Amino acid sequence: MFLRDIISKLGGEAIGEVGRPLLGVGTVAGAADTQITFLANPKYRAALANTDAAAVIVGVNDRDVTSKPRIVANNPYAYFARAAQLFQASNVVAGGIHASAVIHAGAIIASSAWVAEFVSIGANASIGERVQIGAGSVIGENVSIGADSVIAARATIYAHCQIGHRAIVHSGVVIGADGFGFAADFSGSDGCWVKIPQTGRVIIGDDCEIGANTTIDRGAIDDTIIGNDVKLDNQVQVGHNCIIGDHTLISGCVGIAGSTTIGKRVMVGGAAGFTGHLSVCDGAIISAMTLVTKSITEPGMVTGVMPQMNHADWLKNIAHLRRLDKLAGAVNEIKKKGSAT
């Protein structure tokens, strides 16, 4: 693939041309002379002088930073991502259903879809064009999966859930398990937790990616809804009746308790937590390991974690924090005495 071929598909401005076809992408430091690299972070400008890459993707302000053949793009990092997709070996397979798959009555499977070994597809499920379903996956009854989606091996999609077009669902994902809903009844000596039936669905939009071992619970009554172009990392927990807006990105090990509404274009750092029944506005950025206990109403970065420090200093600071309420009370008393004199 030459620069002109990339430009014809992705746009941008080509300066110069490579002498032989490019075979892939690489980092500034690690690229081979058959690859194209990219410069998105200014701190790598100096390293660019020593790169073996045959060509470079640069931003508008860096168009003259190298004499190598290059593509000038408004967003070099996003351009690199799309270029990498062009080089990625096609994983499209011929349509067909493996002999070991179990297809229940009324399921509709497009002729271009591929169903691998030991897959179970429930009654009246609908599998769109060019969908790929990996070995050992379970697709429940009345599930709908849109065209060009990929369901990796051993994913489980419970009954009545819907997945849009071009989704990627990785291994171990569980979509539509019961939400954690119980009513307390301890009025008598034999009290217990009473299970609340979870009768909603999970509705996932187009162009979403769900990371390995992530779980998305079905709604208790209404549906759990994941918007378009949402990206969930590995081991994310989405509770029942949550709503996640379009283009939101959530990093690994985040826990979102039930009935949380997260807006559009929100970014959530790893291991953050949401206590539930709250909302997050469009454009919010939540730092890693932040515990969100109340609604966020203004866009911008929110942080709720104490940065790392020497362990002995941490112990001293925590000891002071434990006495902070008493200290505040003492300060208030001093203020009262001062205002009385």
Q: Which residues are catalytic?
A: 240
Q: CA 218 to CA 275: how far, in whole Å? A: 18
For residue 71, give both structure tokens: 């593509």
Distance (Å) of CA 112 to CA 99, 148, 193: 16, 10, 47
Give the relative orientation of helices 324-340 and 311-322 as an angle to the nearest 10 degrees: 50
Q: CA 79 to CA 114: how far, in whole Å? A: 30
* CB contact at 8 A, 252 and 211: yes
For residue 45, give both structure tokens: 């400008």
Q: Which residues contact 240 (CB under 8 A, 6 or more apart)?
A: 178, 179, 180, 181, 198, 200, 217, 218, 219, 220, 224, 258, 259
Instruction: Say how many Å lie between the first and final Cα of the chain, rounded.
Output: 83
